Structure 1
Amino acid sequence: MLTLDQLIAWGGQLRSYPKGKIIFFEGEEAQYFYMVSSGKVKMFNSNDEGKDFIQGIFYEGDSFGEPPLFTEDKRYPASAIADADAVIIRLSRQQFFDKLPQHYEAHLQITQALANRLRFKTMVSHEIAIHSPEHRLLTMLRYYKSTYGPESGPFEMNLTRQELADLTGLRVETVIRAVKELERKGKLSIENHKIVIQ
């Protein structure tokens, strides 16, 4: 993926966002390519009752919000918020498209990131539509381990029960029951109140 140094060289600007600060709202026109320098960003949709559905959680080195830069409808399909104090680099859409064609490798990496995100959305849709809460949860945990964890060995999840509920379309109470059932079956363990998956 593009590095922070590349984005700065292309004209990117670092911005600090305290936890809870909105980066952009659903429906706003996409003006920037964003990457997390530090902290954590959550993209989400909210319904009329205030229930959130998390579209993605992004950490250091992850880009986010780029799909509408490439589409006819340039509006963000979800809102983004700093889920922890965060430093984000943003590069204007114009600067992004001025530089990207000159860097084949970066273009390929962005295409791969978008394809991986599309694969994730397809997986989530499939899980929500037909599988049990335990299966949905275990699939999500395995996905996060494969994306952010080590190739082998245990991985401690840094996702809260609420985040897991919002990612899988479940209620928090259902997530708690599913975690206990998966622990009983030996599919995961709880260590210091954190979910650990092998």
Structure 2
Amino acid sequence: MNDTLSATNKKIFLAGEGKNELGSWANEPDNRNQKQKGVLETLLLNVKDSGWTIKDAICWKNIRKYKVGEHRSPDQRAVIGACLMAVEKGCTAIAFTRDSDGVKDRVDEVKNGIKDSLEKFNFKTHIIGGCAEPFIEAWILAVSGKNKTEQISTDEAKKSLESLGIETTSQMTDCIEACGIDNIPDDAKSLKDWLKQAEAVL
């Protein structure tokens, strides 16, 4: 990674479930070859392809959950912890997703974590974040033009991706690069909201 950045470059901290979201950034620092982009980086590049650089990243399971203060759910604490890590690393913004797996409470917990990070803790970092509903693979299908992806089951998503020849992380990012982000159906609300946040930050 090149840390020699111009003054105009925004430093981005990524967080996500794993390799599909983060690409090579999901590996341990010593094993990051920086050659494979993940879904989040590719989406950000489609929003704006210059003026920002990824500084660091973390898998969701490895986030230090914020444990101080009032009672909060694990996902709420994880969001706060990830935002705090972004601040500690001197990043301009954090971009993250967490699969909802169809659990509405998780969606609300992630939103509350974002709200606390901005309002209660006043972290000096911009946030591009939320749940991928119901999982990141559904976002890829939405990018391809499929409707009603937020209600899709795991099995249906897998079959739909296979019909498009998409099984690997690189095939997911290839799909985004080929389709772009201009024709995403309106019912892919979680994806469109995430992209709207990215447009405002980048």
TM-score w.r.t. length of structure 1 = 0.30
Rg bigger for which structure? 1
Bigger share in helix: 2
